[in-house]
Each structure stands twice: as C-alpha cells, then as structure tokens.
Structure 1
Amino acid sequence: MIAIIVPAHNEELVLDACIKSLQAASAHQHLANVAVEILIVLDDCDDASLHVALRHDVLVHTCQHRNVGMTRAAGAEMMLARGATWLAFTDADTVVPYSWLAHQVGFGTDAVCGVVQVSDWSEHSGSVREQYDAHYTPMDGHRHIHGANLGVSADAYVKAGGFRALAAHEDVRLIEDLERTGAVITWTAVNQVTTSARKSCRCREGFGDYLKSLAEPHAMG
C-alpha cells in the first residue's frame, strides 16, 4: 500500500485543490493494481480545514503538535501501522501532477527528492524571483530537499529513524539520516510539484521564510 501524508495547519483555502490533485495522482494507470491511501494530518486547526478534508474520501487525523516534524512523523506512524510500504509526502498548499506518485515508486530506489515550482509570485518583488531562479536548479541530479515533494520506502524510513521532532528542516534531517544509513536516493525533476510563495507561511524557517529572506538587504550581496 502507498500512503500519501499531508500535514495541514489552517489550510481551508488551499486544501481542496491539494486533495483533488492527490486523488488524481492516485488514479494513475500505472497504479491500477496498487492501493493508495491519503492521510490529512490536521495540526491545531481552528478554521474549516477539517470540513474541507471530510468532503473527500481521505483519512483524517487531528493533533496539537504545532511542530511539522512531529506532525509528519505522526502521519507516517499511522500509515505504517496500516501496512504502507511507500510513504509520499507533500504540503497542503501544494498541487501535484498526475504522474507524481507513479514516478516516485517507479524509480525503484529507497527515496525520491523532487523539485518545486511557484504558482504565484504576486506577493514578491521581481528581484526576489530573479534571485530565486538564479539559485534554484530544477534538473535531475539537483540537491534540493522539499517536504512538499518527497517519497521514501517504509523500510528505509524506519531504518533512518523517521522524521525528527523539529519545527523546521525536518525533511533535510530525514535525508541526512537516510544517507547515513546508505539509502539510495533519486534526485529528480520529472515529478515537479506546484507550491505557494505566500508570505503568510505556516512553517517558520521553511520555504516561505526563505523567499522572504531574499528581499532582505543582505540577500543582494
């Protein structure tokens, strides 16, 4: 069984589009004989995220961690207990392509790190986008790590110790732990996801804060 795990904190405005894209990816023809389950992990939500999730045929788990590492880990633990052999992770403000999941499992490696593209740059200046593009390499063999586009086999995940209880960079730590255990990792650009560049980001020191840092004076040096 393949499990897709999505942490969410007050994501009522974007969660519907995320889930619809995941359901489409789950129905890919190359996965016709594979069970796929989607789990939305609602972390301390006080908006309508729960109602949005319940409109879909997905699993829902609620928690009060306010810690993305703990939230991802809780979702993984739940799906491992249900028999998942592959864990796919993305974020609630992200839309995945139809072939996203099929590509992840099709590589046959222990883990897959994919790239992201930004859906809307309107909240940022042109210089921020220019700096981002200058430093981002969306090509095979990249070394970018995004919790919004990450997959790992259940065996490799358990061997590496899973996600740590980190408020940020939990995805980077997992990949470091996977590398220490000798896991084979695919760094690919073929399964690019589309994510938000919003300034009102949910995770401190995450992708949104990185984009905001590009607007600071020191970023121009």
Structure 2
Amino acid sequence: MSAVAVVVPAHDEERRIAACLRSLRTAAARVAPLPVLIVVVADACTDATARLAARGGAHVVETRSRNVGVARAAGVDRALELLADADADADADGDGDGDADGDVWLAMTDADTTVPPAWLAHQVARAGEGHDMVLGTIRLAPTTADALLVARHDAAYFRTRRFHAPGGAWEHPHVHGANLGVSAAAYLRVGGFAPLPTGEDRDLAARLIATGHRVARTDRHPVHTAARLRGRAPGGLADLLASLRLTPGPHAAPAGPDGAGVDCVRTPGVPGGGKSVRDVPVHHL
C-alpha cells in the first residue's frame, strides 16, 4: 500500500470539524510512515467549515451540490489527483508512469464523527489480508445523546449480535459512510459513489458485493457520531433518531421509511435482521 486518503464530507460543520480532524490526525500517526492525506469536502457551507478544515491540515474541496454522494465522489477524485501528482513528482524519470490508484486505500468518515486511534491501522490491516472493503460500526457520541435515546437506538442496532456465538466476531449488517474503507482499485472498478442524496454508502457496498469483492464487516474500532435529530442527508441517522424519540417504549424498533431502521441492512437468514431502503446481502467471511 502506497498511501491512505481519508475523505470527509461536511455541510455547515464548524462546531465539529476540528474534533473530527484531531481524531484523524491521531489515527494517521498510528500508520506512520504510511502517508495519510485528508480531504474535507465543504458542501454548500455557509459557515467557517472550509476555513477550519484548512487550518486543521486538510485539503479542502468546496462544492454546492447538497448531495452526499456527489460530495464523497468529489473528495475521492481530489484525493486521487493529489496522490497522482505526488507520485509523478517522485517518479525518478519524471514520466509519471506510476499507478497511484492501484494500492491506495480510501477511508470514509463524516464531519460530525470522531474516530478511535487504531481506526486506520485496523482498516490497513484488513486490506493487507486481501479485503477490498471494510464496513465498521458506530456508537452515538455520549455527549450528544440522552440515555433513553441511546437505549432505543442500541436495542435495534445490536439485535443481530445475539445470534452470534458468545465471544465470536459480530458480522454486523450495517453500512455507514462514517466508518467505511475501500481500496481505490475496487472503488474505481465499480464506478465509485453514485450521486445519491442518501444511501450512497449502501449502494457502493451492494455493487462491490455483487461483483465478488471481499468485504470485511467488523465491530472493532467503532466511530462516535453525533446524535442530532436534524441531519444533513434525508433518511439518514438523524431521521432514525427523530423517529425513535416519537416511538413509545425504550425497546421499540425504529420506524424508517420501510418500517425498520434506515441505518442498517437486511441480514439474509438471520431472524430479526434489519433492513433499509436498499438491501445489501451479508457475506460471511
């Protein structure tokens, strides 16, 4: 692997972008001397997100799409351009023949999220084992959610874990753009992120699985994401949490657009497996 690029879409995240970038710099230090490039996509921002991201050491791309799929794709494009330029500059004969995309790892998170110190190291290790994609899990940031909301969310989020052997790895059914990694080669082979206002992460995972790529699902090193009730993407986590606030009983299942949680995907053959707007089969690895 020649480099890691972290892409962070952001819309008016001046309150949270600094904490996100601090956590990413800590995670990047754990994979040194492997180069880590951080790209923040400031999408239709009307606040200081772009300025704060640049101050935090990120490369900044400004877009006006108000579309997370477009923003993630723009961030990946910029990251690969920067790495290709660096590869050409480092090329001994100056002809730029190096394949900058072939061994680059793309890590995804969100601007309202903080990652644990070993987050990138874990993704790089799974890539080294031959996986093309790593799908991680989330936790609600405790400073942004009350205990009842966390209990309601977790009751649905972890419901498939009880079907796994005690002590065994939980091959979870979730897909989150806030905790996702993919090889650049695999990403480009399937056409990258689609210009979807929500579900771009599930759509990418579905195409990778359908074309036989190796996907690792892991609950190690979950990220912490803000538990806000008014989100940036329609049908995302914020909408789910808002529905949980209106659901009677602490153990009620979330009521997404199709009657289940919108931040999880169906697990074939697993009783009680969740589903989302777009079903993605789970391949047990």
Aligned residues between the structures:
218
Which secondary structure state, in structure 1, belongs to the residue aligned with residue 216 of structure 2? strand
Does residue 88 of the first structure (1) align with residue 118 of the second (2)?
A: no
CA contact (8 A) 2:144 2:226 kept: no
User: C-alpha displacement at 1:80, in angstroms?
Assistant: 2.2
* More divergent stretch after superposition (128-137 vs 174-183): 128-137
Q: What secondary structure does 1:214 align onto?
A: helix
In structure 1, the residue matched to 2:35 is: 35
Maintained 8 Å contact 2:140/2:150: no
Q: Residue in 2 aligned with 1:114?
A: 136
Residue deviations 1:85-108 (CA, integer Å, cap 9, x gap): 110000000000110001001012
Q: Say whether the 8 Å CA contact 1:121–1:129 is kept in structure 2.
A: no
DSSP-derived class of the 1:17 partner: helix
Q: Where does 1:158-173 land on structure 2 (aligned, <5 Å)? A: 158-173=188-203
Matched AA of 2:71 = T
Query: What CA RMSD, in Å, does the superposition of the two structures yield over aligned residues?
Result: 1.8
Which residue number corresponds to residue 100 of structure 1? 119
Q: Give the CA deviation at 1:78.
A: 1.6
Map of 2:51 onto structure 1: 51
Counterpart residue type for residue 155 of structure 1:
A
The structure with the larger Rg is 2
Question: In structure 2, what is the Cα distance between the partners aligned to 1:123 and 1:218?
Answer: 17
Q: Distance in 2 between matches of 1:165 and 1:46?
A: 22
Give deviations 1:192-220, integer Å, cap 9, x for gaps.
11110011311111111111122334894
Identity of aligned residues (%): 41
Q: What SS does the corresponding residue of 1:107 show, helix, strand or coil?
A: helix
Residue of structure 2 in register with 1:151 after alignment: 181
| Corresponding residue for residue 182 of structure 1 | 212
Residue 140 (structure 1) shift: 2.8
- Name the structure 2 match of 1:24: 26
RCO comparison, higher one (Cα < 8 Å, 6+):
1
Partners of 1:156 and 1:190 lie apart in 2 by 23
Mapped contact 1:159–1:181 kept (Cα < 8 A): no
Query: Which residue identity lines up with residue 69 of structure 1 in the other structure?
Result: G
TM-score for both structures, normalised by structure 1? 0.92
In 2, Cα distance between equivalents of 1:15 and 1:101? 18
The one-letter code of the counterpart of 2:151 is: E
1:6: how far off? 0.1
Uncovered stretches (5+) of structure 2, i.e. residues with no partner = 84-99, 162-168, 254-285
Tell me, in whole angstroms, the C-alpha distance in 1 between the residues paired with 2:143 and 2:5.
31
Change in CA separation of 1:45 and 1:144 when aligned onto 2, cut-off 3 Å: same
1:66 aligns with 2:66: yes
Aligned residue for 2:155? Answer: 134
Ranges of 4+ aligned residues in structure 1 off by more than 2 Å: 80-84, 120-125, 128-131, 137-140, 215-221
TM (normalized to structure 2)? 0.72
Partner Cα separation in structure 1 for residue 122 and residue 152 of structure 2: 29
The worse-fitting range, judged by mean Cα deviation, of 32-41 and 9-18 is 32-41
Q: Distance in 2 between matches of 1:63 and 1:110?
A: 28
